Structure 1
C-alpha cells in the first residue's frame, strides 16, 4: 500500500488543476542501483536506503521497482516507514536505522523488522524481549566511529559483545557505522572511521558489516565490506563533492506559468524589493514556491545571484525572492511564443540538477529531493534527455 500524504490518492489534484507536476522515473532509479552495484567489489550486496519516502520519490513504488531489479535489503529511518514497506515487500530484509523505540519490540517482531540497535538500553530491551519469547531474533548493532550521533562507542561495543547475557538472546546480524565526511574523499576522518570500524569488528569476521553509504561506494573497495546502503545516489544526487556525477536524474519538477509581465528598468521585484531590474525585463511568474520545496534561500538579490529554471533550451534565472506559492523567472531572451500563460517550466530535472540548485540555496541536494511539495500533480514515467541530447 503506497504511503499516503495530505492528499489521498483519490483527491490529489488533476494535472490541469495543479500548479506544477512532479515526474518520477522509477526505471532511472533502477538504473542508478545497477550502476552502484557495479561499483562494488565482488561479494558486496547493494542494498537501498529508502527513508524519507524514498527521498521524495515514493517509498513503496520505489522499493517495489528496486525489488524487481534484484534489491533484497532496504534501510528506512522509522518503524512507521518499515511497516508501510513490509506491506509492499513481504519477503524483503528491512532495517530500521533509528533503532528500537521503547515498548515496540513486539511490533518489530510481528512485522519481521530488524532494528539497528544504537544504545545499551535498546540492546537490553531487544535482548529481554527475545529471551522472554525464547526467539533469537535478528538485529543490527550500530558502532559510532566518529560521527558522534547514534551508536555505541567502540569501547562500549566491546563490552556489550563480551556480555553473553546481552547479546546471547538475539542474533547480531549486521554491524553498521556511518561516514561523517564521505562526500569529501580526502578528508582524514574517512580513514580514521574505516580503521576504527575494522578494529572494533575484527573479532567477529562471521558477522556481516556495513559502512558505505552512497559516498562510501565511490571511496573504493576498502569501504564496501558486506553490504552497501546507498541513498542519495539512487535518486540522482551527487555523492562526492569533487568531480562529475555519474548518476542519472530521476525526478523532474515543472511549474506552470501564471503570467508573463514586463518590468521597466529600475523597478523592484518581489518581496522586500530584493532585486532591481537593471534593464527592461520580461518575467514569467510560475506556480511554485517554498511551500513546494523550492527553498527561499535560492532566490536572487542585487547582491547575489539565484537559482534558475529551464524553458525550451533557455536557462531562465530566478529573479527576486521565492515566495510561498510562486517565483519570478527572467524570460527576457525567450521567444514570446514559448514563454506564455499555462506553459510549464522545468525547475528540477535533466537540465536543472538538484545539486546545482543546492549551491544557490547553501544546502545539499538531499534537502531539495526530500522536501518536494505535495501540491504537485505526481506521476510516474520517463524523464527524457537533457536538451543538449545527453
Structure 2
C-alpha cells in the first residue's frame, strides 16, 4: 500500500519500500530472546525513518504495549496510533510541559533532580499520582542521574508524589559483546536497582538483548534491530530486512577517457565509461560521504548500487539531488532511462550502506527523506 499523502511512485525520484510484516516479525524475534521480559519498541526519529503512523500499529498488532520516543511531539503521534499503550519520552522533562504529558497520558523519563522536583510539584498541584521513569547514567555521560545520585533516590520525598513505573539505564557498547563496560554498567545499575525494590527495571537495548550475561530485568527496549539492523555485528544478522530503497535513472550517458564526473572533478574516467544519473541525493538523506573519488576501477570504500542485479559503484560526488553511477558493466539492453535501481536491498543492507558511507546504519535509516514515494507492504492484521 502507498501511504496517505505519499508522492506517487511515477513522480518520485526514489521509492522507499517498508515491510511491516518483517517489522512485526523482528519484534517477535526480540521478544523471544528477552528471557520473559516485556519487549517494548523504540520508535523515535519517526520510527527510525519508516513512519510512526505505520510502524506503531504494526508493532501493536504484534503485541507491543510500550513505546519509547525522544520528543514530546513524537509521543503525541504515538498516542494517536496506540491509544492504550504506555509511552515514554526519553529526552527528559522540558519546563512547563507537564500539562501536555497529563493531557495525553504520557510518561517523562526523568534524568535529574531538577526534573524529578518539577514533575513531583506538577503532580502535587494536580493532585494526581502521574507516572514517570527515572534514568540513571551508568557510563554514557549524556543524560541521567549519576550512580551516586541514584543511590540516594530512596531518600527523596518527591518520589511519593508520582508513580515511578520504570528505572532505566542505557548500554554504551552492547554491540561489542566482549567490552568490559557492559559488565561494569550491569554492576552499577544493579546497585541502584537493589536500593529501590519494587520498581520495574530496564537496561537492554537491541544489542543488549543478545549479550550472554545480561540480565533481562522487567523490560527491554529494542530500536535499531526492529528495523533490520544487525544487533550482533560479530555474527549473522538474526533480523529480517525492513527497508528497501530504489532510485530512478534520469539519464544515461557515455563519458570519454580522461573526463571527470561530478562536482570538483574528483572522479576520473580512465577509459570510456557509461554513467547513470539517479534522481536521489543528500537532500533525500543519502549521505554525501558515500561519494566516490579517485579513478574508474579504483577499489574505494564508497557507495554502490545494484543495477539489473549487478553491483555498480558510484562515480563522483553525491550531490543534493543526484547520484552518478558507473554502469559500464551492465549490458546496454538491460538498462534504460526511467528504470529503478537498488540503493538499499539485497547485499546492500542498511549496515553495509552505512559502512560504505563511513557511518552507521542508524544514520542511514533515520535520514530517509520526505521526497520518496513510500510503499508499505503487509501490516494489515
- By how many angstroms is 1:276 displaced? 1.0
**C-alpha distance in 1 between matches for 2:333 and 2:27:** 40
SS of the residue 1:35 aligns to: helix
Of 1, 5, 8, which residue of structure 2 is paired with 1:14? 8
Of 364, 367, 374, which residue of structure 1 is paired with 2:360? 364
SS of the residue 1:223 aligns to: coil
Cα deviation code 1:313-351 (max 9, x no counterpart)? 201111111111111112111121222100000101233
Aligned to 2:285: 293
SS of the residue 1:248 aligns to: coil
**C-alpha distance in 2 between matches for 1:9 and 1:27:** 19
Cα deviation code 1:296-326 (max 9, x no counterpart)? 1111111744110112220111111111111
**C-alpha distance in 2 between matches for 1:35 and 1:51:** 20
**C-alpha distance in 2 between matches for 1:367 and 1:33:** 21
Aligned to 1:93: 86
SS of the residue 1:128 aligns to: helix
**C-alpha distance in 2 between matches for 1:363 and 1:307:** 12
Return the TM-score normalized by structure 2.
0.95
Aligned to 2:334: 338
**C-alpha distance in 2 between matches for 1:374 and 1:272:** 28
- Deviating runs (4+, > 6 A) in structure 1? none
Cα deviation code 1:158-192 (max 9, x no counterpart)? 2233122x111111110010111112111111111
Q: Is the 8 A contact 2:208 2:214 kept in 1?
A: no
Aligned to 2:258: 266
Aligned to 2:98: 105
**C-alpha distance in 1 between matches for 2:88 and 2:361:** 24
Q: Is the 8 A contact 2:154 2:196 kept in 1?
A: no
1:37 aligns with 2:31: yes
Aligned to 1:81: 74
- Between the two proteins, the alignment pairs up a number of residues equal to 373
- By how many angstroms is 1:205 displaced? 3.2
Q: Pairwise mapping of residues 324-335 of structure 1 onto structure 2 (< 5 A)?
A: 324-335=320-331
**C-alpha distance in 1 between matches for 2:242 and 2:175:** 20
- By how many angstroms is 1:203 displaced? 2.3
1:209 aligns with 2:205: no
Return the TM-score normalized by structure 1.
0.92
**C-alpha distance in 2 between matches for 1:278 and 1:357:** 26
**C-alpha distance in 1 between matches for 2:73 and 2:82:** 14
SS of the residue 1:319 aligns to: coil
SS of the residue 2:248 aligns to: strand
Cα deviation code 1:228-277 (max 9, x no counterpart)? 01000000012233222111111111111011111122221111111111
- By how many angstroms is 1:37 displaced? 0.9
Aligned to 2:225: 233
Aligned to 1:65: 58
Q: Which runs of 5+ in 1 are unaligned?
A: 1-7, 383-390
Q: Pairwise mapping of residues 135-214 of structure 1 onto structure 2 (< 5 A)?
A: 135-164=128-157, 166-214=158-206
**C-alpha distance in 1 between matches for 2:212 and 2:166:** 20
Q: Is the 8 A contact 2:151 2:195 kept in 1?
A: no
1:319 aligns with 2:293: no
**C-alpha distance in 1 between matches for 2:45 and 2:215:** 25
- By how many angstroms is 1:221 displaced? 5.6
Aligned to 1:3: none
Q: Which runs of 5+ in 2 are unaligned?
A: none
- By how many angstroms is 1:198 displaced? 0.5
SS of the residue 2:35 aligns to: coil
Cα deviation code 1:133-181 (max 9, x no counterpart)? 22211110000001001000011122233122x1111111100101111
